[in-house]
Chains A and B, each alone.
Chain A
Amino acid sequence: MTAPRLEIVYRRLLRCYPPRWQQQHADEVVATLLDVADAEGRTRPSPGEAANLLAHGLAARFGASLGLLPETVRNRVAALAFASVATLSCTLFVVAEVLPGPLPVDRGYRRDGSGLSFGPFVTMGAALYPLPVLAFVAAAAKARRVARAMLGLTCLAVLTILVVPLATPSMDAERPQLYLLVVLGLLAVLAAGGYSAGVSRRDLFGAVALHGLLLAGATALSVSLFRRAHPGAHWNWPLHAYRGYGGLLDTVEMIVPAVVAVGALLATAASVRRPGWIVAVFAISGIWSLLPIADSIRYGRWSWENTYAGLGFLFVFGLIALAAVVDLFRAAGLKVVRTSDLPHNTSGSPARAEPNTFTTRSTLPGPPPAP
């Protein structure tokens, strides 16, 4: 590989970095990389060098993206994501994995007849769900590093459960639905990426309490709906919480749109004095909303009623998105002023706009020009 060719390869690797960083540093970094390659007698990038550039480039991109969000907003998104993944995992562990007993043999759901495919548990989810719960316990005990590590492990566990069945198709153990794992994974990534000392414990505990209330209500509703439809039948057999009509997940999916609307109203009230909550609710409720949508598509339940209900929900979600944009501006301390409103200094030249101010030209008629 000739030197110009090597330079091209290095420049391709540097595309992992944000465009602004590339404009400022690409030339000097390429020069350094070529100097190192010359000194080591290499004509192509070493695998370690390529991996190093890839990792730092992606980290710079992620950091640049995160940097666009004010810290308060990041902390609130992290608090809600953390509370969501911890409470949803805790509820699923108890209701969907621990409570269901083995099926009677004559029901013959599986070859062994028990319906328990992962040891004494229903699915491989039993290995995943305790991790975010332990992360919350660590956060409550002020062990932030342990909490972050457990959240990171949660992301890894989600990935493992997604990949392992693909690698070993003959494996007998069930896994939770793909879309449920994706939702848990997204929440865990947001929580792990944003959890820091800036996340207030009061916010985290409050969010956990609200989520706990919501999921306890969903569980009670699930029991009530099932008992009404099947009086005397056992409510929670294996996999019913995941896939059954009126099961836990089905009930959660049913109430998500209403909860999103109520959550947005609560966030609007909270954001008056503490901006950033509407953005957080918008981000997290968007992830929760994937549950009913993916479920309808996965199990072919989408019909014309869903289209109407979906359009209504889309309208409400659009309003929340608009409110989130305004909230984001407020959290960032940005405000829009008209040039006609700017104060003028004594020399007659317009005063400079304050930092963090968007300036627009007024379309209102101004005072008549001086003669």
Chain B
Amino acid sequence: MGIEDIREPTFLVLAALADGAKHGYAVIREVKAISDSRVTLRAGTLYAALGRLADQGLVRQSGEEVVDGRLRRYYDLTDAGVEVLAAQAARLRQNAAEADRRLRTRARPVQAPA
């Protein structure tokens, strides 16, 4: 998968898994926290993204347990997933830095005297 193809929800799912394996509900919570409540993933969207990322070799299942009668299946980044996430983060950082630089050099409008 080329890093150009990653959309924001997919990026956020990868970012949620960056610090370790998580189950579905934990990923939904993390995505909400990372995006400052701007993005709330629904279960259908989350599992479609996880399935796609697993097919692309960026995410793998890393175990499961049953808690209070509910199945928790954990997902983790693969080495390829770590690389893609790092590359995408670097790209976004670079774009943001360039946007900041241009904003700073933007000519300020001259204020008319009172």
Contact = CB atoms under 8 A, between A and B. Distances in A.
Contacts of A53: 42-44
B42 A59 contact: no
Contacts of B25: 31-32, 35-36, 39
A31 B42 contact: no
Interface stretch (A21-29, A212-220, A258-266): A21-29
A35 B70 contact: yes
A167 B48 CA distance: 36
Contact of B44 (A30, A35, A39, A52): A52
Given A31-B70, A31-B71, A49-B42, A36 B47 contact: no
A31 B72 contact: yes
A339 B10 CA distance: 46
Given A32-B24, A32-B25, A35-B25, A56 B47 contact: yes
Q: Which size bracket describes the interface of B in this complex?
A: 10 to 19
B48 A56 contact: yes
Which secondary structure dominates where chain A touches chain B? helix
B46 interface: yes
A27 B43 CA distance: 12
Interface string B36-49: 00000011111110
A35 B23 CA distance: 11
Q: Which size bracket describes the interface of A in this complex?
A: 20 to 34
A65 B25 CA distance: 29
Contact of A28 (B44, B45, B71): B71
Contact of A56 (B28, B45, B64, B73): B45
B52 to A, nearest CB: 10
Interface string B47-71: 1100000000000000010000011
A48 B71 CA distance: 24
Contacts of A281: none
B48 A60 contact: yes
Contacts of A52: 42-45
Contacts of A33: 43
16 contacts: A28-B64, A28-B71, A29-B24, A29-B43, A31-B24, A31-B70, A31-B72, A33-B43, A36-B25, A39-B25, A49-B42, A49-B43, A52-B42, A56-B47, A57-B44, A59-B48
